[in-house]
Chains A and B, each alone.
Chain A
Amino acid sequence: GESVGLHLPTLSVQEGDNSIINCAYSNSASDYFIWYKQESGKGPQFIIDIRSNMDKRQGQRVTVLLNKTVKHLSLQIAATQPGDSAVYFCAERHGSSNTGKLIFGQGTTLQVKP
């Protein structure tokens, strides 16, 4: 079925620590994955994406890891800052789809303690 799930609804970390947000997906035909950050009252903001032919991709302070064997995606944020506090969504797109339909998970709330 179509579902993208996150393991934890809320993650609380200390400022300066690294954060890891996890996501499980169910469709093995998905070949493109995206992480979005959504702050209160705003639309989702693109963070980083990864295609299924890759295992890892790095951005500025963020790393996305993809494990296709267990259908698991994670977002790592280095040196977490108060400004990182938000809801984080993973989203997938099915490789067989001829549309841009993204399937989102429920979201994980990241709380950064000063």
Chain B
Amino acid sequence: ETGVTQSPTHLIKTRGQQVTLRCSSQSGHNTVSWYQQALGQGPQFIFQYYREEENGRGNFPPRFSGLQFPNYSSELNVNALELDDSALYLCASSLGLAGVRETQYFGPGTRLLVL
């Protein structure tokens, strides 16, 4: 059984650019959630995908968007990058219907630096 993987591990972008982060869920998991973790803070929920549909969104602007593919892998896209977008972006996968209290297992994260 493979765990949650994310790519790339690190990324440097400049303000105004666009970025795509990728996540492969744990084997058998069909739900993916994305979180943003600023330095010294707890993770903050961005959104969740279940069976290729967005199922819930946190307090993030529309320039944060996502996709989930038939194999349950997922992408997080951020347009018009701002300096405050610099953070660790975490993907978590879980099994079962969204909203059912299934444990979320996190990947190692992608460290994004916006200059």
Interface contact B105-A46, CB-CB below 8 Å: yes
Residues of A within 8 A of B16 (CB): none
Residues of A within 8 A of B104 (CB): 34, 46, 100, 102
Q: Mark A59-76, 1 if CB is under 8 A from B, else 0.
A: 000000000000000000
Q: Which of B34-70 contact A (CB under 8 A)?
A: 35, 40-45, 48, 55-56, 58
Interface residues of A (CB under 8 A from B): 4, 31-32, 34, 36, 41-46, 49, 51, 89, 91, 93, 97-107
| Contacts A43-B90, A89-B42, A100-B48 given; does A49 touch B98 at CB 8 Å | no
Residues of A within 8 A of B2 (CB): none
Interface contact A101-B102, CB-CB below 8 Å: no
Interface contact B41-A106, CB-CB below 8 Å: yes
Residues of A within 8 A of B102 (CB): 100
Residues of A within 8 A of B56 (CB): 97-101
| Contacts A100-B56, A101-B56 given; does A46 touch B103 at CB 8 Å | yes
Residues of A within 8 A of B98 (CB): 98-100
6 more A-B contacts (CB under 8 A) besides A4-B42, A99-B55, A101-B56? Answer: A42-B109, A43-B107, A43-B108, A43-B109, A100-B98, A107-B40
**Residue in A42, A99, A107 with the greatest tally of chain B CB atoms within 10 Å:** A99
| Residue in chain B with minimal CB distance to A93 | B101
Residues of B within 8 A of A42 (CB): 108-109
Partner of A45, one of B43, B99, B106: B106
Give, as a whole number of angstroms, the nearest-CB distance from B69 to chain A: 18
Interface contact A36-B106, CB-CB below 8 Å: yes
- Expressed in whole angstroms, the Cα–Cα distance for A43 and B6 within the complex equals 10
| Contacts A43-B108, A106-B41, A106-B42 given; does A99 touch B103 at CB 8 Å | no
Interface contact B106-A101, CB-CB below 8 Å: no
Interface contact B43-A44, CB-CB below 8 Å: yes
| Contacts A43-B90, A43-B107, A46-B105 given; does A107 touch B42 at CB 8 Å | yes
B31 at the interface (CB under 8 A from A): yes
- Expressed in whole angstroms, the Cα–Cα distance for A30 and B31 within the complex equals 21
